[in-house]
C-alpha cells in the first residue's frame, strides 16, 4: 500500500467549535457530533496526508506501522443506531503487525480496544 510506504504522520490538531463547524459544513453527521459536544469540550482532529477527520486519538505515529491484511466485514448500520436515521456503510479492516509494536507507545492498548481489538 502506498500510504504504508510513505510513512505519513498522524498529526493531532485542536480547533474551536466554529472552526470545526466550518470545516465540516457539508457533513451533517460531523455537524451533529460537534453541536452535541459540551461547550467547553476540546475538539480535536487528526490529519494524515490529505485526510482530516474528527477524532479523539491517539493514533499510531505514522502509517508505516499499518498493514491492512483484509477487509473483514462490510455492513450496513444506521446513524446513531437509530433505524429511523440515515443508513451508513461500515467497512472493517483487519490489521496486522500492530501488536508487535505495542511497547512503542503507552496508549496502544487503549487504541486497540477502541478499534475493537482484544489484547491477549
- Cα pseudo-dihedral 14, 2, 75, 34, rounded to 10: 10
Q: Could you report how far apart the first and last alpha carbons of the chain are, in Å?
A: 28
**Stretch 5-29: mean pLDDT, rounded?**
93
Greater confidence (25 vs 100) lies with 25
Residue 96's pLDDT is 61
| pLDDT tier for residue 100 given thresholds of 50, 70 and 90 | very low
- Cα pseudo-dihedral 77, 79, 84, 87, rounded to 10: -50
**Stretch 78-105: mean pLDDT, rounded?**
70
**Stretch 88-115: mean pLDDT, rounded?**
56
Q: Is the pLDDT of residue 115 over 70?
A: no
Residue 118's pLDDT is 43
Residue 34 and residue 17 in contact, taking contact as beta carbons nearer than 8 Å: yes
pTM for this predicted structure: 0.68
Residue 102's pLDDT is 41
Instruction: Catalogue all structural domains in the chain, each as residue range(s) with its CATH number.
Output: 2-114 (3.30.980.10)
Amino acid at each position: 500500500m502506498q500510504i504504508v510506504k510513505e510513512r505519513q504522520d498522524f498529526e493531532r490538531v485542536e480547533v474551536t467549535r466554529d472552526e470545526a463547524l466550518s470545516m465540516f459544513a457539508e457533513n451533517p453527521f460531523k455537524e451533529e457530533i460537534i453541536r452535541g459536544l459540551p461547550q467547553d469540550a476540546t475538539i480535536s482532529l487528526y490529519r494524515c496526508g490529505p485526510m482530516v477527520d474528527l477524532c479523539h486519538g491517539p493514533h499510531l505515529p505514522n502509517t508505516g506501522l499499518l498493514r491492512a491484511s483484509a477487509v473483514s466485514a462490510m455492513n450496513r448500520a444506521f446513524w446513531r443506531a437509530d433505524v429511523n436515521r440515515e443508513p451508513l456503510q461500515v467497512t472493517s479492516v483487519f490489521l496486522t503487525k500492530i501488536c508487535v509494536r505495542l511497547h512503542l507507545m503507552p496508549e496502544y492498548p487503549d487504541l486497540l480496544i477502541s478499534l475493537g481489538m482484544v489484547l491477549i
